[in-house]
């Protein structure tokens, strides 16, 4: 069959790598792709916001199945448009993608279905929002309702910070994403990224992961899209996975189906593992980036039948197999990210790095120029490795990072530190099941 993958980041390179390994795939296209994805797929210069152009490409190239990477096209209804044109697509429709597109929608759904999450209220004006902030006290979360590319969440340590965040969002700094504000109680615990494949009526758990959102070592510095990740997440014991499925994911899938917006695709739950068990921080309607990079390294089964079963509503009897190994990824970003950064600096040493044992390199923001690979984004490369433990995966990953010659880039040196510390404390062996 012929598959079209939409997106251009490290997540899409990892998905392309796994899709290309499937014996079911004849031709794999990716729009728009990047220099790394071009090793796995035929990259096509399509504007993926132009649904008519995507549909025309599918018709002209006998595309049987479209896999959507990022959230923007999902929230814009690209799956509905493709399906209406009789092209099968993986991902939620527009109404189901509200689980990511509107924080208020998700919080209301949690409340109505007793899904554990932080206490909250929604506001359309600053004065009542500020009253609620004063009532709950700091620390407290102030969030813009809509998609704000990671800039819509303020973790306010003090009341003054929280009040200023309310003003900032209502001042229109985030555009229409900030026409409504959600204020939430601060939850304490350890975070985990949890993924489930959903087919509209049921769901199966994928592996768990943890990502590092802050830019600098020691989890300091500004928030980013993610500077690294590893899998599995030690906090996601089999019991915690079972509770997450029973208390959070499955009730969500049932509620979406009951309201006529069945959720198909991958549901990414950002979790806080608290003393009382798992609580939902937020949903994303897509695979995580960079979590997908480590998930794909651990997935033994063919990805294609799994995605098709999700689309066809056939997951009930489906089973996925995983390698028992751990996997870790380090993001190499352009200096200045997540603020201003330069594009176009040359990257060398990729081949030597990729030749090391257990190492895989995914491109997040690169392009080929005059026979060289150059940086073309903020997050530029994902250096990944598998290992028997997170510690071994970490050692292998950084050995590969050290082969890469890119003066214009930087990365964190401590990805996976919590898991490695846990492994050391438990005698160097595996700290997870």
Nearest distance in Å: CB 288, ligand GLY: 4
Q: Which helix (H) or strand (E) holds 209?
A: strand 203-211
CA atoms within 13 A on the CB side of 425: 9
**Could you say whether residue 289 binds ligand GLY (CB under 6 A)?**
yes
**Residue 355, Cβ neighbours under 10 Å: how many?**
10
**Could you say whether residue 153 binds ligand AMP (CB under 6 A)?**
yes
**Residue 198, Cβ neighbours under 10 Å: how many?**
25
**322's tokens:** 């995983």
How many chain residues touch ligand GLY (CB under 6 A)? Answer: 6
**Residue of 68, 118, 166, 183 that binds ligand AMP (CB under 6 A):** 118
d(CA 348, CA 263): 43
**Residue of 211, 247, 325, 423 that binds ligand GLY (CB under 6 A):** 211
**69's tokens:** 């990477």
Instruction: From the list ligand GLY, ligand AMP, none, pick the one residue 226 interacts with, judged by a Cβ distance below 5 to 8 Å according to partner type.
Output: ligand GLY
Instruction: From the list ligand GLY, ligand AMP, none, pick the one residue 356 interacts with, judged by a Cβ distance below 5 to 8 Å according to partner type.
Output: none
217 to 256: interface string for ligand GLY, x by CB under 6 A:
---------x------------------------------
Q: CB neighbours of 39 closer than 8 A, spacing ≥ 6?
A: none
Applying CB under 6 A, the span of 2-10, 13-21, 271-279, 286-294 interacting with ligand GLY comes to: 286-294
Q: Which of residues 70-99 bind ligand AMP (CB under 6 A)?
A: none
| CA-based torsion, 414, 420, 422, 425: positive or negative | negative
Applying CB under 6 A, the span of 43-51, 87-95, 281-289, 423-431 interacting with ligand GLY comes to: 281-289
**Could you say whether residue 284 binds ligand GLY (CB under 6 A)?**
yes
199-227: b (≥16 Cβ within 10 Å) or e: bbbbbbbbbbbbbbbbbeeeeeeeebbbb
188 to 227: interface string for ligand AMP, x by CB under 6 A:
---x---------------------x--------------
**46's tokens:** 């399509």
Q: CB neighbours of 82 closer than 8 A, spacing ≥ 6?
A: 51, 54, 55, 58, 66, 88, 89
**Residue of 67, 75, 141, 269 that binds ligand AMP (CB under 6 A):** 141
Applying CB under 6 A, the span of 17-25, 172-180, 183-191, 389-397 interacting with ligand AMP comes to: 183-191
171 to 210: interface string for ligand GLY, x by CB under 6 A:
----------------------------------------
CA atoms within 13 A on the CB side of 56: 8
**275's tokens:** 């003393």
Length reported for the chain: 433
What are the respective helix, strand and coil percentages of the chain, to the nearest 5? 35, 30, 40
Query: How far, in whole angstroms, is CA 366 from its chain's centroid?
Result: 19
Nearest distance in Å: CB 149, ligand AMP: 10
258 to 277: interface string for ligand AMP, x by CB under 6 A:
------------x-------
Instruction: From the list ligand GLY, ligand AMP, none, pick the one residue 291 interacts with, judged by a Cβ distance below 5 to 8 Å according to partner type.
Output: ligand GLY
Nearest distance in Å: CB 170, ligand AMP: 18
CA atoms within 13 A on the CB side of 265: 35
**Interaction site with ligand GLY (CB under 6 A):** 211, 226, 284, 288-289, 291
**Interaction site with ligand AMP (CB under 6 A):** 118, 141, 153, 155, 184, 186-187, 191, 213, 270, 281-282
């Amino acid at each position: 069959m012929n598959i079209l993958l939409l997106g251009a980041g490290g997540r899409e390179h990892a998905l392309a790598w796994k899709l290309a390994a499937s014996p079911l795939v004849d031709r794999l296209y990716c729009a728009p792709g990047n220099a790394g994805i071009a090793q796995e797929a035929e990259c096509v210069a399509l504007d993926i916001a132009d649904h008519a152009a995507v549909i025309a490409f599918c018709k002209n190239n006998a595309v049987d199945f479209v896999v959507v990477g990022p959230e923007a096209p999902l929230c814009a209804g690209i799956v509905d448009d493709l399906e209406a044109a009789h092209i099968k697509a993986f991902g939620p429709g527009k109404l189901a993608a509200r689980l990511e597109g509107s924080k208020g929608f998700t919080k209301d759904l949690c409340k109505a279905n007793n899904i554990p999450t932080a206490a909250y209220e929604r506001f359309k004006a600053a004065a009542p929002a500020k009253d609620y902030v004063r009532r709950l006290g700091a620390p407290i979360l102030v969030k813009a309702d809509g998609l704000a590319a990671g800039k819509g969440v303020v973790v306010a340590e003090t009341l003054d910070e929280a009040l200023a965040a309310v003003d900032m969002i209502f001042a229109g700094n985030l555009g229409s994403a900030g026409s409504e504000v959600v204020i939430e109680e601060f939850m304490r615990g350890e975070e985990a990224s949890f993924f489930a494949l959903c087919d509209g009526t049921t769901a199966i758990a994928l592996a768990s992961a943890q990502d590092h959102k802050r830019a600098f070592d020691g989890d300091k510095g500004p928030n980013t899209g993610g500077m690294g990740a590893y899998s599995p997440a030690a906090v996601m014991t089999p019991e915690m996975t079972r509770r997450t499925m029973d208390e959070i994911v499955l009730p969500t899938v049932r509620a979406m189906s009951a309201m006529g917006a069945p959720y198909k695709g991958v549901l990414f739950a950002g979790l806080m593992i608290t003393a009382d068990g798992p609580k939902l921080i937020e949903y994303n309607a897509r695979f995580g980036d960079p979590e997908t990079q480590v998930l794909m390294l651990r997935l033994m089964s063919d990805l294609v039948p799994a995605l098709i079963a999700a689309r066809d509503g056939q997951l009930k009897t489906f089973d996925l197999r995983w390698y028992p190994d751990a996997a870790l990824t380090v993001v190499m970003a352009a200096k200045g990210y997540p603020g201003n950064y330069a594009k176009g600096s040359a990257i060398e040493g990729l081949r030597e790095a990729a030749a090391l044992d257990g190492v895989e390199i995914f491109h997040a923001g690169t392009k080929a120029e005059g026979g060289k690979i150059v940086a073309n984004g903020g997050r530029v490369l994902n250096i990944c490795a598998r290992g028997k433990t997170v510690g071994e995966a970490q050692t292998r990953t950084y050995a590969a990072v050290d082969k890469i010659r890119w003066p214009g880039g930087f990365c964190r040196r401590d990805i996976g530190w919590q898991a490695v510390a846990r492994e050391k404390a438990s005698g160097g062996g595996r700290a997870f099941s």
